[in-house]
Amino acid sequence: MLQGFFLNKLKAIYMQKMQFWTLEEVLQDQSEPPPPIIDDGILLENSLLLIGGKQKSGKSMLAYNFALALAEGRSFAGFKIPFPRRVMFLSAEGGRWSNQKRLKTMSAAFGCAIPSNLLITFHAGILLHDEEDGKSLRDAIMGYKPDVLIIDPLVKFHSVDENSARDMSEIMRILRDLIEKFRLSVVLIHHMGKDEGRGVRGSSAITAEYDSYIGLEKTKEGYFLDFDMRHVETPDRTKLQFNPATLWYERTDQSAVERILSGQAGMTRKELVRALRSSGEYESDGGAYKGIKKDIDRRAIVFKDELYWLPDHPALRSPFSQEKISGGKIVKS
């Protein structure tokens, strides 16, 4: 009795700051874990994803691709995104006007249907460790309630010594505090150091903190992604191609049919054939028909309601899946 009293007292004291579980509660808990934000362990609920690469390697483009795909709940370039999420983007790379142009191009190519799911600031003067700036950021998060916070690049949002373990540990602590307090996930964009063998630049306090990592490398042969996962099996190295017309990364094994449908909310057979002919991929309607049938047979695309779709398009979700979404996002319990 006395032991139970003190245990309950302890739990009550720390209820506002942290949650304790008895082993009995852990063993009896039958609840399912929340669905991943990006599948294959790349971005889980309440986790931190670090994206690293050289300057001008395309990290910001990848970050914007992630932001739009997460907001729409649509997969791209092999990244599986099950549901729409609210995204807050702190962008300090490139300025407002160039990024607006990029976003308009990406959105037009992707066919974005939930633009309210992405909130962006192009202000580069926010310092995570500054008391006033920190309060402003927390207020913005409380008001918008994002599922994912993207920061591009990390160096623009602090003024401490990146090589100082003490300083960077404090920055990472602030980010972890945001994750825990607001039940969100964080995506950090960070530059590689001069010695690429040592990974991203700065103190090891940065790399010690992430739950998952994507390294982006730009080469003459294309773009390569290397992964490091702390909680699941690490995926193999992946090669992508970048489409300069749409500003989207794409799988190198993606068919012409898949590329065209990736930016569409379903297409009729006539529309799809016309688009395939216009792309120069096929010289005849017959060739285009064969390409469509091949993708149908390998289940790369589906035919429903007289339209062709990618299998993961939000319009094809089951009623059960739709019930999990309210206002374009999963409702947090």
List of domains in the chain: 48-251 (3.40.50.300), 256-316 (1.10.10.10)
**130 Cβ contact list (under 8 Å, min separation 6):** none
pLDDT under 50: residue ranges of the chain: 13, 319-333
Q: CB–CB of 163/200 below 8 Å? A: no
At 284, the amino acid letter reads S
Q: How many C-alpha atoms does 181 have within 13 Å on its Cβ side?
A: 11
At residue 229, the pLDDT reads: 92
Name residue, tokens 């993606």. 254
At residue 326, the pLDDT reads: 40
Q: How many C-alpha atoms does 198 have within 13 Å on its Cβ side?
A: 10
269-278 and 285-297 helices, crossing angle to 10°: 110
In three-state secondary structure terms, 59 is helix
Strands (DSSP E) found in 15-154: 48-53, 87-91, 118-121, 148-152
CA distances from 96 to 90, 93, 152, 179, 247 (A): 11, 9, 13, 27, 17
Q: CB–CB of 309/266 below 8 Å? A: yes
Q: How many CB atoms lie under 10 A from the CB of residue 49? A: 23
At residue 154, the pLDDT reads: 94
At residue 213, the pLDDT reads: 95
CA distances from 148 to 68, 223, 292 (A): 12, 25, 36
At residue 20, the pLDDT reads: 84
At 242, the amino acid letter reads F
Q: CB–CB of 187/51 below 8 Å? A: yes
At 131, the amino acid letter reads E
pTM: predicted TM-score of the whole model, two decimal places: 0.78
**140 Cβ contact list (under 8 Å, min separation 6):** 88, 119
At residue 304, the pLDDT reads: 87
At residue 65, the pLDDT reads: 97
The DSSP H or E segment spanning 278 is helix 269-278
